[in-house]
Amino acid sequence: MGEHELITALQELLTPRGDRVVRWVGDDAAVVRARPVQVVSVDQMVDGVHFRLDLPGVTAGDVGHRAMAAALSDLAAMAADAGEAYVTLALPEGLPGEAVLELVAAMEALAAATGTTIAGGDVTRGPVLMVGVTVVGWADEESALLGRDGARPGDLVGVTGPLGGAGAGLALLDGRVDPAAHGIPAATVAALARAHLRPEPRLALGRALRAAGAGALMDVSDGVATDAGHLARASAVDVEIALADLPLAPGLDTVCAALGVDAAEHAATAGDDYELLLTAPPRAAAAMPATVTWIGRVHPAATPGDGRLRVVGPDGAPRALAGYRHAVG
Amino acid sequence: MGEHELITALQELLTPRGDRVVRWVGDDAAVVRARPVQVVSVDQMVDGVHFRLDLPGVTAGDVGHRAMAAALSDLAAMAADAGEAYVTLALPEGLPGEAVLELVAAMEALAAATGTTIAGGDVTRGPVLMVGVTVVGWADEESALLGRDGARPGDLVGVTGPLGGAGAGLALLDGRVDPAAHGIPAATVAALARAHLRPEPRLALGRALRAAGAGALMDVSDGVATDAGHLARASAVDVEIALADLPLAPGLDTVCAALGVDAAEHAATAGDDYELLLTAPPRAAAAMPATVTWIGRVHPAATPGDGRLRVVGPDGAPRALAGYRHAVG
C-alpha cells in the first residue's frame, strides 16, 4: 500500500459527527464551530515506551484504542464533553498498511462510541510506531468543569472503579507472570489483559460526578499514589488514602501473588487504569454514582500551602510506597 | 538534568498571553475561553525525516522554531488569528536537557512574536527526537476564513515571497553543495540556511490577503507544483503557473547551478518555504500587499469537476515536473 493510497484509506474510515465540524481532512486546518469554553489535552504513546506491539496478544487496534482512550480520559477528568480528536502517526517501514488501518479503525470506533469526531491528523515516517492524540472537549461555562484544585478539608476521596487491573494485565502480556504456572484462569487473563489494552474513558461518569457535587477530579493514569499526590499539591491539602479500602480488580490477587508483590500496593502504583479520582463533601456522597468506592479523606495541609499524600496501611500505620508506576518493557 | 527537573524548567520558559487561557500546564487539560470559530492543525517533525539534528549548523533551537513555524503556517493559510499551541516531545536518551530547553525557548520566542500561548504538552522518551505541535487559531465567523476551495476561473494566482530558498538552504546544510567550491558568498549561504531553518509563518499577511479580497489561500509547504495541484482539485478548477514568473530566492541560481538543476523547477518543487499561495480576482490585485508576486491564472477545469495543475515553461510549452518535494537526508 503506497503512502497516498494509505492516507486515502485512512480518511475513508472517518465520519464527522454532529454539525460542529465545518472543514476537516483536506484543507490546511480543521474548522470547528466552538462552544464557549474549550478543553484541550495532548498525549503521545511510543512503541517500546508506552506499549509493545511485539508482544503476543497486542494488536495495532489495541494501540489505537488505548491512545485515544488515554487522551479522552483527560477530558473525562475535567467533566468536559468530548468534541474532536486530531491524530499524528509516525510509521516505521515494516508496519503493514493493514495494521495502520486497524489502528485508526479502533480509534474511530472509540470516537464513535464517545461522540468524538476525528477531524484531522498528520502521518509521517518514523523509526518506531508513535501515536499522538490531541483531544478537544467543550463546555458551556468554566464552572461546568472540574480541576485538581477543588479538594477541601473534610471531603471524601473516591475512585470510580477497580484499580491494578491494567498493571496486572501488562504483567501477563509481557510474560512476567505465566498464567499456567500459577493456575490463573483464562477468563481472568483475558479480563486483565483487556483492562490494560482497552481502557474506557469515563466521560459520562465525569459529568455525572460533577452534577452530583464532586469538588476535584482527575484521572488515574500514573496510579493513585502518584495522582492523589498531584491532587493534594494542586488543592494545597493533605490527602489520606487507606490501602485496605482500594477496590481491587478481580484476579489481581493471583497475579500479585505470582509477582510476589502486595496487591493493594500494586493497585495504588501500577497506573494506566484510567478510572477517575474524585473528592466530594460527605453530604454529596449518597448522590454519587454507585461505581464510586470511597478510599480516603481530605485534611488541612500539615504544612500550610504544601499539600501531601498520606497512605495508610491495613494496620493503620503510614505506609511509604516504594513502587510508583511500572515502566513498560 | 532529571525528568522532573526538566519538565519544571520547560514550564518556567512559558508565559500565557492575553486572558483566554483559564487553566494550562499542571491540570489534566488546558481550559481556554473560545471565540466562535476554532481552527486546528497538527504537525509532527521527526529527526532523520523532517530535519537532521546531526548536521553542522543545525541547532535544537532551529528544530523548535521550524516545527512551531510550520504549524502556525497552517493557521496563516486559513487567515485565522493564532491562539494556543500544544507541544509533544519524544526525547532520545543522549539529548542533553540544555538542548531541550533551547528547543522550547525557540518555540516560545516564536509564540511570543505571533501572540500564541503554549498552553500544554506531553514529554516522553523516544528513540529519536520527535516534535509534535498542535495549533489552535480563532476567528469570529466562518466567513472570516479562507480555504483551498475558493479559486474561480479568471482569478490570478500569487505567492507572498521568494521560493526555493529553503530547499537550497538544505542542500548547503546537508553538504550536497560546497559553497567554497562554487564561490557562493557566506552571506548567501547564511540567508539560504536561514530560509530552511527559520521560516516565518505569514499570519498577518494571511489576514491582509483575506481583507484585500483573496478567494483561496494555502501555504507552500510541499512546493507550489504540489500545493497548487491541491488547490486546483479542492476548487475544481485548472490552475496554470508560469515557471518564468516564479519569484526566486536570492542566491538560488548559484546553488541550483552547483546542483545541476533548473532554478525555477527547484523553486516550484523543493517546498518548505512556508510562503502563502493565493488566488484573487484581477480587480482585487491592485489592493494586495506589495510582497505578492503573480505567477499564474485560474481556468475552468478542462475535465469538469476534476481540477488540475498546468505548469508552463519559459518557452510557453507545458512542462512536466519530475521533481516534487526533496526528502531530507
**ipTM entry:** 0.94
Assess whether pLDDT exceeds 60 at residue A324. no
Q: Is the pLDDT of residue A14 over 90?
A: yes
Residue A69 has pLDDT above 50, yes or no: yes
| Parallel, antiparallel or unpaired: strands A216-219 and A156-159 | unpaired
What's the confidence (pLDDT) of residue B21?
92
| Residue A322: pLDDT band with limits 50, 70, 90 | low
Span B231-252, mean pLDDT? Answer: 97
**Calpha distance B54→B189 (Å, rounded):** 18
pLDDT for the residue numbered B18: 83
The per-residue pLDDT for B322 is: 60
pLDDT of residue B162: 97
- Identify the three-state secondary structure at position B214: coil
What is the topology classification, in CATH, of domain A3-12+35-144? 60s Ribosomal Protein L30; Chain: A; (3.30.1330)
pLDDT at B215 over 60: yes
Asked if residue B37 lies in contact with residue A34, where contact means CB atoms within 8 angstroms, the answer is: yes
For domain B156-312, which CATH number applies: 3.90.650.10, 3.30.210.10, 1.10.3720.10, 2.40.340.10?
A: 3.90.650.10
Residue list, annotated binding site of B: 28, 41, 43, 50, 74, 121-122, 148, 219, 221-222, 272, 324
Q: What is the pLDDT of residue A325?
A: 43
Mean pLDDT of chain B: 94
Q: Which CATH architecture has domain B3-144?
A: 2-Layer Sandwich (3.30)
Check residue B129 and give its pLDDT.
98
Distance from B22 to chain A by nearest Cα, in Å? 8
Confidence tier at A120 by pLDDT (50, 70, 90): very high
Give the model's pLDDT for residue B328: 36
pLDDT tens digits, B50-98: 999 999 999 999 999 999 999 999 999 999 999 999 999 999 999 999 9
Q: Residues near B191 by Cβ (< 8 Å), separated by ≥ 6?
A: B165, B249, B250, B251
How many CB contacts within 8 angstroms connect chain A with chain B? Answer: 194
* Least-confidence region, from A14-23, A284-293, B190-199, B213-222: A14-23
What percent of chain B has a predicted confidence (pLDDT) above 90?
90
Percent of chain A at pLDDT exceeding 70: 98
Say yes or no to pLDDT of A1 above 80. no
The DSSP-derived string for A15-65 is ---SS-EEE-TTSSSEEEEPPSEEEEEEEEEEBTTTB-TTSTT--HHHHHH
B115-136 tens-digit pLDDT: 999 999 999 999 999 999 999 9
As to burial, measured by CB atoms within 10 angstroms (0-12 exposed, 13-18 middle, 19+ buried), residue B290 is exposed
| Burial class of residue A28 in the structure, from the number of CB atoms within 10 Å of its CB (0-12 exposed, 13-18 middle, 19+ buried) | buried
Cross-chain Cβ contact A42/B132 below 8 Å: yes
B chain contacts of residue A78, beta-carbon cutoff 8 Å: 27-29, 31
B2 class by beta-carbon count within 10 Å (0-12 exposed, 13-18 middle, 19+ buried): exposed
* A72 touching chain B per CB within 8 A: no
Taking a contact as any Cβ pair under 8 Å apart, which residues of chain A between 204 and 263 contact chain B?
218-219, 234
Q: Using DSSP bridges, classify how beta strands B237-242 and B309-312 pair: parallel, antiparallel or unpaired.
A: parallel
Q: Is the pLDDT of residue A225 over 80?
A: yes
Q: What is the pLDDT of residue B112?
A: 97
Range of lowest pLDDT (A247-256, A285-294, B315-324)? B315-324
Q: Is the pLDDT of residue A265 over 50?
A: yes
Is residue B181 over pLDDT 90?
yes
Q: Is the confidence at residue A174, as pLDDT, over 50? A: yes
Question: Does the distance separating the beta carbons of A148 and B28 come in below 8 Å?
Answer: yes
Mean pLDDT over residues A140-150, rounded? 96
Closest CA to A174 of A197, A144, A143, A142: A197
* DSSP secondary structure code for residue A245 in this structure: G
Q: How confident is the model at residue A329, as a pLDDT?
A: 29
Alpha-carbon Rg for chain A in angstroms = 20
Determine the Cα–Cα distance for residues B231 and B245; give it in Å rounded to an integer: 19
What is the mean pLDDT of the segment spanning A186-202? 97
Distance between start and end Cα atoms, chain A: 31
Which pLDDT belongs to residue B329? 29
Contacts of B6 (CB under 8 A, 6+ apart): B97, B100, B101, B123
First and final C-alpha spacing in chain B: 31
The minimum CA-CA distance between A115 and chain B, rounded to whole Å, is: 18
Q: What is the pLDDT of residue B37?
A: 98
Tell me the pLDDT band of B25, cut-offs 50, 70 and 90. Answer: confident
pLDDT, mean over chain A:
94
Q: How confident is the model at residue A19 (pLDDT cuts 50, 70, 90)?
A: confident
Write the pLDDT tens digit of every residue in B33-42.
999 999 999 9
Nearest 5°: phi and psi at B311? Answer: -105, 130
Distance CA A239, CA A218 (A): 14
- Domains of chain B: which residue ranges? 3-144, 156-312
CA closest to B46 among chain A residues:
A126
Range name among A147-156, B236-245, B315-324 with the lowest pLDDT average = B315-324
**pLDDT for B295:** 98
Q: Note whether A40 contacts B234, CB cutoff 8 Å.
A: no
Coil vs helix vs strand at B196: helix
Percent of chain A topping pLDDT 90: 90
Residue of B nearest to A37 (CA): B33
Q: pLDDT of B253-288, one tens digit each?
A: 999 999 999 999 999 999 999 999 999 999 999 999
pLDDT at B166 over 70: yes
Q: Which residues of chain A form beta strands (DSSP E)?
A: 21-23, 30-33, 37-46, 81-91, 117-125, 130-139, 156-159, 216-219, 237-242, 276-280, 293-300, 309-312
Question: From the CA of B32, how many Å to the nearest CA of chain A?
Answer: 5
- The residue of chain B with its CA nearest to that of A121 is B42
